[in-house]
Amino acid sequence: MNIYGVDNNPQNPKGPAPQPEKKVSQDFLKGRKLMMMIIGGGLLMVLLFIIYAIADAPPFNEIENPQSDLSTMIYSEDGKELGTLFSDENRISVKLSDISKYAVDALIATEDIRFYQHSGIDAQSIPALIVSFLEGDPRGGSTITMQLARNLFDKVGRKRTPIRKLKEYIVATYIERSFTKEEILTAYFNTVNMYGADFGIETASARLFGKKAKDISLEEAALLVGMLKGQGVYNPVKFPERSKDRRNTVLDQMVKYGFLKPQVADSVKKIPLKLSQGTGYSHDTGPAPYFREYLRNYLKEWCKKNGYDAYSDGLKIYTTLDSRMQEYGEEAVKEHMTSLQKVFDGHIKGREAYKRADILKGMIEKTERYKNAKKAGKSQAEIDKEFKTPVKMLLFSWNPDQMKDTLLSPMDSLKYFSRFLECGFVAIDPATGHVKTWVGGNNYKFFKYDHVGLGKRQVGSTFKPFVYAAAIDNGKLPCDVELNQSICFSTPSGKWCPKNADGSVGGYMTLRRALGGSVNLVTARLMKEFGPKLIANYAYQLGIESKLDEVPALCLGTTDLSVLELVGAYTTFANKGIHIKPLIITRIEDRNGKVVEEFMPQSNTALSEEKAYLMIDILKGVVDEQFGTANRLRFRYNFKNEIAGKTGTTQDNTDGWFVGMTPNLVSGCWVGCAEREMRFHSTGLGQGANTALPIWALYMKKVYADKSIGLPQDPFQKPQNWDPRCIPYRDASSVLNNSGGGSSIPPTVRDSGSAPVVPSTPTTPPKTTTSPTVPPKKTGSLNDKDWE
């Protein structure tokens, strides 16, 4: 038969013979069945694989409403960012409009050039991904959206496996369905880990360049995006050349895809790396670290009561601190302490307190190293060996060029750090209670202990105004005179007979001159007249919160107080007799900007306006009169405006104090060594007028010079219908001679009014929620005479 169906064999008239049926091979059937089973099994495995990936992926409701940990932001009253609170991840969220366009272009050019064309998965990258899998190196092919899926959801995972890639596909697809491209970019820039513990471009920009993300330059943006390939490998601090090469690769990518002109890229490549390491958000660096630590401890308790996490809920804390005034406070401390430390080093050379074995032993036993060794059950010999074995450490110096790593034994380190004078300085607006400046020490990295809100030291003569306030409120006037004669008190431990710091005695003295010259005997006589209980109650009313020992020596400041509560109490005089408790926070907002709590001032009336002004008038004598212990503010620092204040120097010149008041700002400072036995051996050097007052003066000069702050230099406002009946006695020379600081004329004969008035306050201080303080240390002997 041919192709037309015609039989060519004429001998077969019946047509073609039928063909026998082909029998299907059993082997073929078995093979086909096996193939179908393999295909079906493979499909089932793929299905199970997808089901497992979906089941292990984040729930869709989480993808639609992603929540990432956000650091708590701390803001100053003038709107500056002071720092953050975070645990493991320091993350700040910003809008896309607050991110440099250079960074956006660099990211797309380097990580995902088809970002605006795909829907989460770049189909063109899949072949390359399959090849990498077959080669046993599954990497690449991740779009920006897929990377975001990893950043947002831990369930997606980080391990390079097919299951992770599938999860990325699923989550990325759903993200693209739920959010716009702009929202995806914003989320990416806010969640990606760029440098160390810094998550997001805002924190990384602050850390590496000291800038906001919107202000970074082209070369800085390229550097940050280049680090995404591996922040450890391309760390610009550790590997600057490698990091620079990677930055230039990013610039080449931007040229390749039309984001940059070649000549611009070539010019930028020549720019060296410029980093400002350490200026960003961290616990130890940045402005007001002592204040932020005090705030952190407060927020821990606040969050516990209000159901928030201080480290991850993205709270916004608006504080009372003024960033400009804070900067001036830190500058003033550094300027004065640098020069004072040089004087102190020369003064104590050869007679350091730690040369006494008992003092050195006490210093060692107070260290955490010693306490931990004891807890670990180490023998004294083992502990001694540990303290004598050199270890690598960084030593503090006021000269940054001298701060470097060195080998030093813990014992020698203890001796080294014990010789440093430390300080605490705070400034408060008396009308609002707002804390404007808070400098808790020399350098937070090396000296963690806060000498403003936490530390307490003997206050010396800065306590005397509370004695005089009680006297003034009970009828005394600044022009009233008192005997400058010895007086004794009977105490459970024997007789106490205080003396003046200079040993002088004799005659009469006005109260104004007595407080201005910090005369102990006149203050002691007022204590004798009004009693410790009354004096303590007035101190509580004025703002002191620490428990006071109601003993005669209280009048000379043997008690330990914090800088914060002492300065807070002085604001009462400047605020016309109304005490407003120091305030550090105005409001707290959640991550969405909703106000969670507003903080209102707590106040009480401690003195009448007239009596408060009388106290101001007396304390102006400390600054204005020739006998005043703070008169160097006039002749050395040339202040012309009205200032009231009080210096203080404690036993053996261990502590120096000064609190200065103007109508709009009250500031105070303490200076001394952490180890109380380390001290000046000369009152001329160790007195508060020399150690603490200059910090106040330098600070106020800087604040007044900054016109943007606008702190007025107005005089103190006199009360309405003020009766200046003490004016004839304001010139001390008109009523007092110079013999022994007193006068032979009798005291003014005047009816001082009714019996002493006890203010309506409990005999114990009000409860406080401030940070716990260290227990008072050594208190001066009742026979000491050397309180200023």
- The model's pLDDT over 359-410, given as tens digits with 9 standing for 90+, comes to 888 889 888 899 998 888 899 998 889 899 998 888 898 887 777 788 889 8
pLDDT class of 87 with cuts at 50, 70, 90: low
492-511 average pLDDT score: 88
**pLDDT tens profile 439-462:** 999 999 899 999 999 999 999 999
* Tens-digit pLDDT profile for residues 45-68: 555 445 544 444 444 444 445 556
**Mean pLDDT in residue range 508-526:** 93
Rounded CA separation 421/671 (Å): 7
Residue 349 pLDDT > 80: yes
Per-position DSSP letters for 653-713, written without gaps between them: G-EEEEEEEETTEEEEEEEEESSTT---S-HHHHSHHHHTHHHHHHHHHHHHH-TTT----
Q: For residues 559-577, give the mean pLDDT.
A: 97
470 Cβ contact partners less than 8 Å away, ≥ 6 residues apart = 526, 530, 534, 535, 538, 756
Name beta bridge partners: 657: 648, 670
Q: Which two tokens stand for residue 246?
A: 């990677």
Number of C-beta neighbours around residue 496 at 10 A:
18
Give the residue among 124, 129, 193 at the shortest CA–CA distance from 161: 129
Task: Provide the sign of the torsion angle of the four alpha carbons 471, 472, 475, 481, taken in this order.
Answer: positive
Q: Say whether pLDDT at 566 is over 90.
A: yes
pLDDT band at 264 (very low <50, low <70, confident <90, very high): very high
**What's the pLDDT at 494?**
87
CA distance 335 to 398: 9
Residue-wise pLDDT tens digits, 175-198? 788 788 898 898 888 888 888 777
| φ, ψ at 35 (rounded to 5°) | -65, -40
The pLDDT mean for the chain works out to 82
pLDDT at residue 2 in the model = 44
Average pLDDT over residues 471-485: 93
Predicted confidence band at 200 (pLDDT cuts at 50, 70, 90)?
confident
Q: How much is the pLDDT for 237?
A: 86
Residues paired with residue 424 on neighbouring β-strands, in sequence order: 670
Instruction: Return d(Cα 565, Cα 648) in angstroms, integer.
Output: 15
Q: Taking Cα atoms as reference points, which of 307, 304, 235 lies closest to residue 590?
A: 307
- Are 667 and 428 in contact, with CB atoms under 8 Å apart? yes
CB 407 within 8 A of CB 389: no
3-state secondary structure at position 48: helix
Task: Give the pLDDT mean for 84-92.
Answer: 72
Average pLDDT, stretch 558-571? 97
Give the pLDDT band (50/70/90) at residue 275. confident
Q: With 80 as the cut, is the pLDDT of residue 336 above it?
A: yes
Decide: 315 and 590 in contact? Cβ < 8 Å.
yes
The pLDDT of residue 177 is 80
Comparing CA positions, the residue from 99, 191, 110, 201 lying closest to residue 148 is 191
Judged against a pLDDT cut of 90, whether residue 530 lies above it is answered with: yes
pLDDT of residue 159: 53
- What is the per-residue pLDDT across 252-261, written as a single tens digit (0 to 9) for each? 999 999 999 9
Residue 759 has pLDDT above 50, yes or no: no
Tell me what pLDDT residue 133 has.
55
CA dihedral 152→157→161→163, nearest 10 degrees, is -80
β-strands 435-439, 665-673: how paired?
Answer: unpaired
Q: Using CB atoms within 10 A of its CB, is residue 249 exposed (0-12), middle (13-18) or buried (19+)?
A: middle
| 223 pLDDT higher than 70 | yes
pLDDT at residue 314, rounded to an integer: 87
203: confidence class by pLDDT, cuts 50, 70, 90: confident
Q: Which residues contact 192 (CB under 8 A, 6 or more apart)?
A: 147, 151, 199, 200, 201, 228
Contact 500, 533 (CB under 8 A): no
pLDDT at residue 122, rounded to an integer: 72
Specify the DSSP class assigned to residue 621. Answer: H
pLDDT for 661-695, tens place per residue?
Answer: 999 999 999 999 998 889 999 889 999 999 999 99
| Mean pLDDT score, 493-500 | 90
Residue 21 has a pLDDT of 56
Residues in CB range of 242: below 8 A, 6 or more apart: 233, 234
pLDDT band at 763 (very low <50, low <70, confident <90, very high): very low
**Residues 289-308: pLDDT tens digits?**
999 999 999 998 999 899 98
Q: Which helix (H) or strand (E) holds 483?
A: strand 481-483
- pLDDT higher than 80, residue 707: yes
Q: 3-class SS at 119? A: coil
Residue 732 pLDDT > 70? no
> Mean of the pLDDT values across residues 733-738?
37
Calpha distance 177→170 (Å, rounded): 11
Rounded average pLDDT over 17-43: 65
Tokens 């004078």 correspond to what residue? 421
Q: Which residues of 733-769 are buried (b: 16+ CB within 10 A; e: fewer)?
A: eebbeeebbbbeeeeeeeeeeeeeeebebeeebeeee
Instruction: Read off the pLDDT band of 142 (50, 70, 90).
Output: confident
Please compute Rg for the chain using Cα positions. Answer: 38
> Does residue 112 surpass a pLDDT of 60?
yes
For range 569-597, the mean pLDDT = 96
pLDDT given for residue 712 in this prediction:
96
pLDDT at position 99, please?
93
Give whole-number Cα distances, 561 to 329, 454, 558, 564, 602, in Å: 21, 9, 10, 8, 20
Contact partners, residue 221, CB within 8 Å, separation at least 6: 100, 102, 103, 105, 106
What per-residue confidence (pLDDT) applies to 424? 97
174 pLDDT band, cuts 50/70/90, is confident
How large is the average pLDDT for residues 229-247? 88
The stretch 505-522 carries a mean pLDDT of: 91
Element (H, E) at 207: helix 201-209
Taking residues 71-84, report their average pLDDT: 90
b/e 195-228 (16+ beta carbons within 10 angstroms → b): bbbbbbbbbbbbbbbebbbbebebbbbbbbbbbb
Task: Please tell me which residue, 101 or 773, carries the higher pLDDT value.
Answer: 101
Looking at residue 157, what is its pLDDT?
46
- With cut-offs at 50, 70 and 90, classify the pLDDT of residue 744: very low
